[in-house]
Structure 1
Amino acid sequence: MKYAIIGFGKIGHALAKAFARNGIEVVVATTRAPERFAADAAAIGPTIVPNTLAEAVKADVIFLAVRFESHPEVAKALPDWKGKTVIDAMNTQAPLEELGGVPSSAYVARVFAGARVVKGFNHLVAAVLGQNPAVHGGRRVVFLASDDDGAAAEMGALAEQLGFAPIQLGGLSEGGLLVHARGKSWGHLIFKDLIAFDR
């Protein structure tokens, strides 16, 4: 399985740190030439590989960590997203009316036609997401929502591999709303920093 993170701002860095901590290779890309952020990638670890957007979209699993307004440009990088799993780690404050009345993740699923879209890794601020998820004898929770149960299960397994405790919220229309920022009203689970303890 090949992984990529598109967007290398605060959330992109936090996700890259999670991969680096576990020695898992991940390609990072932006709209800039990879040489522009190669030093930042190297500072995180040797498994963080800077590359072009065109190369990044060849991965099986792609984390979207760009500004929400930029994701349609990323979608143009492939004519068809079939066979790809896209993790929507973005947040937007656009009201639902601007998104056709659906949560942002459902909107993203329409743009990335054919992809298996999973909403996840977006409810924590970057400074918290970037920390080691093993805390107080438990594991930091990440929420996942998807209309594809198989993709949700696979990303749950990846979240566990990265050290997190995944909690499945159901489909994008229901679970996605819980981690969606809508206008000035945030979803109920946004910024909830929860720890799960194994029995």
Structure 2
Amino acid sequence: MSNSENKVASYAIIGFGKIGRALARAFARNGIEVSIATTRDPESFVSDAAAIGPEIIPVTLAEAVKADVIFLAVHFESHPDVAKALPNWQGKTIVDVTNAYGVPPEKMEGLPSARFVAQAFAGGKLVKGFNHLVAAILEQDPSVHGGRRVVFLASDDDGAAAEIATLAENLGFAPVKLGGLSEGGLLVQAHGNTWGKLIFQDLIKFKS
């Protein structure tokens, strides 16, 4: 990937429920093209995608995983099915937008949820992010009273975190990095029947 610095990254959102649509609206609002996929035939949600904007491109799951950056906006339990779409996720950045609320910790081998998800995407770089806000807030214009709505990011890969922070800024948000998945990731995860301390915190960042 010697020419990776010169090419524009491609984006995909897997999942087109409330969160997937909220993310799609953020891309459309800023004129950034993004592919959308579910386990269904893309024809089944063409009209819904068109209603959001021409930047929203319905594709198959096999097409979506060709993107450089993939937003995982499915139910937590569905992430292994998405992971099977590629034998290796080398060169891909996965943004984990899932919430494992109600999933017993023992089912995640005692790991933070994002680290458990990362295991499924062998070779890929995982960033936990965009998951702490409910869809009704996430889909709003993040420019609020002269400030920008905060999105939290956690990753064990500094390069991937920086890449998604830049994308978040391009989407109008104010990214705040929380550190690694086992530290910052705990603040923005659901575990069993508990929520991390930063879940649902709708914060606005103003220029100092």
* CA-to-aligned-CA distance 1:67-95 (integer Å, 9 cap, x gap): 11111000000010010000000101213
Code of the residue aligned with 1:83 in structure 2: it is: G
Structure 1 residue 28, shift from structure 2 partner: 0.2
Asked if residue 69 in structure 1 is aligned to residue 69 in structure 2, the reply is: no
Shift of residue 134 of structure 1?
0.1
Which of these residues, 41, 52, 67, is aligned with residue 59 of structure 1?
67
- Secondary structure of the 2:151 match is strand
State the Cα distance separating 1:164 from its structure 2 match. Answer: 0.2
Name the counterpart of 1:101.
110
1:1-150 aligned within 5 A: 1-93=9-101, 94-150=103-159
Scaled by the length of structure 1, what TM-score is found? Answer: 0.99
Deviations 1:109-156 (A, max 9, x none): 100011000000000000000000000110000000000000001100
CA distance in 2, matches of 1:128, 1:97: 31
Residue 204 of structure 2 aligns with which residue?
195
Confirm or deny that 1:180 pairs with 2:189. yes
Structure 1 partner of 2:3: none
Distance in 2 separating the partners of 1:181 and 1:76: 24
1:159 positional shift: 0.2
Amino acid at match of 2:10: K
Structure 1: runs of 5+ lacking an equivalent: none
Counterparts of 1:116 and 1:146 in 2: how far apart (Å)?
Answer: 8
Any idea what SS the aligned residue of 1:37 has?
helix
- Amino acid aligned to 2:163: E
Give the C-alpha shift of residue 97 in structure 1. 2.1
Report the AA paired with residue 96 of structure 1.
Answer: P
TM-score w.r.t. the length of structure 2 is 0.95
Structure 1 runs of 4+ off > 6 angstroms? none
**Matching of residue 151 in structure 1 with residue 160 in structure 2:** yes
- Tell me how far apart the structure 2 counterparts of residues 30 and 98 of structure 1 sit (CA, whole Å): 25
SS in 1 for 2:106: helix
The one-letter code matched in structure 2 to 1:174 is E
Q: Give distance in 2, aligned partners of 1:181 and 1:54.
A: 29
Instruction: Supply the distance in 1 between the matched residues of 2:166 and 2:195 (Cα, whole angstroms).
Output: 27
The Cα offsets for residues 8-36 of structure 1, whole Å up to 9 and x where unpaired, read as: 00000000000000000000000000000
User: Quick one: which amino acid aligns to residue 191 of structure 1?
Assistant: F
3-state SS of paired residue (2:21):
helix
Q: CA deviation at 1:185?
A: 1.3
Q: CA RMSD in A?
A: 0.6
Query: Percent identity over the alignment?
Result: 72
